[in-house]
Amino acid sequence: MICGLLLRNDMRKTLFIGLPIALAILAVGFYQAIFVAPTEATMGEVQRIFYYHVPSAIMALLFPYVNFAASAAYLLIRRSNPLRAQAADALALAAAEVTLVFASIGLATGMLWGRAAWGIWWTWDARLTSFLMLWLLYVSYLLLRRFTAGGQTQTLAAVLSVFAAIDVPIVYMSIRWWRTQHPSPVFFGGPDTGIDAHMMPAFLFNVAGWFVWGVLLVTLRYQLQRKRQRAEQDATLRALETTLQSVR
Amino acid sequence: MGHRHLVIAYIFVWTLQLGYLSSILLGWRRLRK
């Protein structure tokens, strides 16, 4: 369905199908997180930040791979198939912006939670520092695209996205490789890890909801970028026609 | 103290996400004009 929508480039259809589904799952997730999930024993109510912080951080580690795959496709086909390469570039840009939104949320909610739970806003441990690096890499990626001129912008951005993709496994493994202020892995961390079974629905609904929301945003942003590319191509063609007519 | 941080976090998340969605929709509207 998503591929079909991407190909047809119909933003209205994407919005009318995707938005109600995403909002419905997120509404259930919100209800579960605030009203159903039990209050954590040591941290109290502030632990409910977990239900937005962790899913957002997961999305911030997932969408860089969409950006990376699209950038790699752009680098591979930019000479052999320049028109299709523009589609890959539009997808890379969409995924980068959505990554930055989720990474900003991961950072901000983490800081708010840290302040309440540890008494500090920030510490330079491996998880926080590598995640801040990921955020800075995507800020650089978007600044590069916005403020450089010339024909190499897309290629340079695609190369930068490779560095961002390398940082993702470092962020994921940081709490496994090093002792950090950030808690040890809650999931896939071996025996004696995990959360209370009563907290799982709130967590899973929010992961699913933010995933659908992220896919919706990437699809809409991709479709907008494709429309912009076509508008620019049309404008260039019109300018060329006018020049040719004036020469004749 | 915990309540205040929780409320700020949830408001921040929705403000940023809806703000970004709005920016895409505004871009779409500007292009259609």
What tens digit of pLDDT does each residue of B1-33 get? 568 899 999 999 999 999 999 999 999 999 887
A162 forms bridges with which residues in the sheet?
none
Q: Is A142 in the B-facing interface, judged by CB distances under 8 Å?
A: no
Alpha helices in A32-123 (DSSP H): 50-77, 82-117
Distance of alpha carbon A235 from alpha carbon A181, whole angstroms? 54
Residues of chain A with pLDDT under 50: none
pLDDT given at position B31? 87
Q: In sequence order, what are the residues at sequence separation of 6 or more whose Cβ sits closer than 8 angstroms to the Cβ of residue B7?
A: none
Pick from B6, B8, B31: which is nearest to A227 by CB? B31
pLDDT given at position A33? 93
- ipTM comes to 0.94
Distance of alpha carbon A89 from alpha carbon B17, whole angstroms? 23
Report the gap between the CA of A247 and the closest CA in chain B (Å). Answer: 31
pLDDT given at position A184? 72
Contact between chains at B8 and A46 (C-beta distance less than 8 A): no
pLDDT given at position A38? 87
Q: Is A32 in the B-facing interface, judged by CB distances under 8 Å?
A: no
pLDDT given at position A3? 55
Residue numbers in A near B16 (CB within 8 A): 101, 104-105
For residue A71, how far is the Cα from the chain centroid? 15
Q: What angle do CA A221, A211, A134 make, to 5 degrees?
A: 75
- Smallest CA-to-CA distance from A29 within A55, A64, A4 is with A55
Distance of alpha carbon A206 from alpha carbon A30, whole angstroms? 7
Burial of A140 (C-beta count, 10 Å sphere; 0-12/13-18/19+):
middle
Q: Is A97 in the B-facing interface, judged by CB distances under 8 Å?
A: yes
Tell me how crowded residue A108 is: count the other CB atoms within 10 A of its CB.
Answer: 17
pLDDT given at position A136? 96
pLDDT given at position A196? 81
For residue B11, how far is the Cα from the chain centroid? 9
Q: Is A228 in the B-facing interface, judged by CB distances under 8 Å?
A: yes
Contact between chains at A108 and B12 (C-beta distance less than 8 A): yes
Residue numbers in B near A46 (CB within 8 A): 1-3, 5-6
- The amino acid at A181: Q
Pick from A45, A97, A101: which is nearest to B17 by CB? A101
Contact between chains at B24 and A113 (C-beta distance less than 8 A): no
- The amino acid at A69: A
Contact between chains at B9 and A112 (C-beta distance less than 8 A): yes
Q: For an interface test with A, which of B17, B29, B31 has the most A Cβ atoms less than 10 Å from its Cβ?
A: B17
Give the pTM: 0.91
